[in-house]
Amino acid sequence: MKVAVEEAQRKLSVYMRERGLKHTRQRDQILEAFFAAGGHVSIDDLLGQVQERMAGVGYATVYRTMKLFSEAGVAHERHFDDGQSRYEPVVDDEHHDHLICTTCGTIFEFEDPIIEKRQSDIATAHGLRVVHHRHEIYGSCIAPDACRHRARPT
């Protein structure tokens, strides 16, 4: 993940420079907190972690910064069925799809070459070249004790 954050820093500073935006320490800190948090964080999740590094950063700042990161191509904004915007770091040449438990909200990632191949064959059959796609499967954890919501703390 260390390599990925450095790549993101580079990508972001190119983006900022092209638009004449100033480089700020605060934005760096938010980027680092975001990459350290891993995948699928909401603004609320991230806010707590940003505040651990820098007290006094508000929701609006984190919100605006994450929008900027999406535009700069260092964050993917995801909208799953819970209605919250979630963000995950962009790792070049990496693609995955998601499975979401509608009971506990756990988000799993998967990549299946057969599904990927089928999707692009289907697109080709319709005269399309795939630019990107989103594949989300909603389900419910089968084992009750695997489900964070249903699991009873011992």
Q: What residue ranges bind Zn ion (CB under 5 A)?
A: 39, 88, 101, 103-104, 109, 141, 147
In this complex, which beta carbon is closest to Zn ion, that of residue 85 or of residue 103? 103
Distance of closest approach, residue 93 Cβ to Zn ion, in angstroms: 15
Distance of closest approach, residue 105 Cβ to Zn ion, in angstroms: 7
In this complex, which beta carbon is closest to Zn ion, that of residue 55 or of residue 142? 142
Q: Would you say 33 and 46 are in contact if contact means Cβ atoms under 8 Å apart? A: yes
> Would you state the structure tokens that stand for residue 56, as one six-digit string?
């006094």
Q: Would you say 87 and 78 are in contact if contact means Cβ atoms under 8 Å apart? A: yes
In this complex, which beta carbon is closest to Zn ion, that of residue 16 or of residue 90? 90
Burial class (CB within 10 angstroms; exposed 0-12, middle 13-18, buried 19+) of 105 = middle
Distance of closest approach, residue 107 Cβ to Zn ion, in angstroms: 7
Q: Is the dihedral of CA 19, 94, 130, 70 positive or negative?
A: negative
Residues 6 or more apart whose Cβ sits within 8 Å of residue 118: none
Distance of closest approach, residue 121 Cβ to Zn ion, in angstroms: 24
In this complex, which beta carbon is closest to Zn ion, that of residue 39 or of residue 73? 39
Find the helix or strand (DSSP H, E) in which 64 lies. Answer: helix 59-72
